[in-house]
Amino acid sequence: MANIWLPPVEYVATLPRATAYACLYFTDTGGRPFQLRASYRSELWQWPGGNMDPGETPWETALRECHEETGLVFTGQPRLLGTHFVTDRGEEWPANHIGFIFDGGELTDEQIAAVVLDPDEHSEYSVRSLAEWEREMGPREFARLAEIDRARRTGSTVYVEAGAVEE
């Protein structure tokens, strides 16, 4: 293909589509991951977070969604634990999906007890060991959880990629 200059609007129209989400990864003081059960799919466990609104940064999204979904107001600094990439899933989700998972730190028992869920989004929350989560979650979802947990424990950042058959 010849190198033909296109105006930005036309060029962008040729690029793959993508949506983005951001969330906070919390554990309790014992290091056990905290997750929310999705109301719309009872087998799906997820972290406080959601899709970015126009004009938002990933960090702003993570903070807003965490507050909307749990009532928690996170005041820490942004520390990226990982990026999650899901390929286009066809008609189910006709775009790539890119996630930014930030470190939310540790929640005390009092903070966990104060969580208020939006019943339209989540039916319950739970804190479990990785071994317990592995029995509860699908393999792809658990692999993402395990990678993010490892990033938190080691101080590293991870990149997790998932194919078209996801969540």
Query: Does the residue 145 lie in any domain?
Result: yes
Q: Indicate if the pLDDT at residue 53 is higher than 80.
A: yes
Query: Does the residue 99 lie in any domain?
Result: yes
With cut-offs at 50, 70 and 90, classify the pLDDT of residue 166: very low
Count of domains observed in the chain = 1
Query: Does the residue 7 lie in any domain?
Result: no
Using one digit for the tens of pLDDT, what is the confidence trace for 104-113?
999 999 999 9
Report how far apart, in Å, the C-alpha atoms of 74 and of each of 61, 65, 83, 106 are.
Answer: 12, 11, 20, 11
Residue-wise burial string across 34-52, b where 16 or more C-beta atoms lie within 10 A, e elsewhere: bbbbeeeeeebbbbbbbeb
Question: Helix/strand/coil (H, E, C) string of 117-139?
Answer: CCCCCEEEEEECCHHHHHHHCCH
Domain containing residue 152: CATH number: 3.90.79.10
Query: Does the residue 167 lie in any domain?
Result: no
Query: Does the residue 22 lie in any domain?
Result: yes
pLDDT of residue 91: 76
DSSP labels, 52-87: PPTT--HHHHHHHHHHHHH-----S---EEEEEEE-
Q: Of 11-20, 88-97, 157-166, which range is least confident?
A: 157-166
The β-bridge relationship of strands 33-38 and 45-46 is: antiparallel
CB 44 within 8 A of CB 141: yes
Query: Does the residue 12 lie in any domain?
Result: no
Q: Indicate if the pLDDT at residue 167 is higher than 90.
A: no
Question: Which residue type sits at 73?
Answer: V
Q: What is the mean pLDDT of the chain?
A: 92
For the ranges 63-67, 135-139, 160-164, the one whose mean pLDDT is highest: 63-67
Using one digit for the tens of pLDDT, what is the confidence trace for 79-108?
999 999 988 677 777 788 999 999 999 999
Please give the average per-residue pLDDT across 24-43, as a whole number: 95
pLDDT of residue 2: 64
Which residue segment(s) compose the domain that 49 sits in? 17-162
Query: Does the residue 10 lie in any domain?
Result: no
Q: Distance (Å, rounded) from C-alpha 72 to C-alpha 58?
A: 17
pLDDT of residue 163: 55
Query: Does the residue 127 lie in any domain?
Result: yes
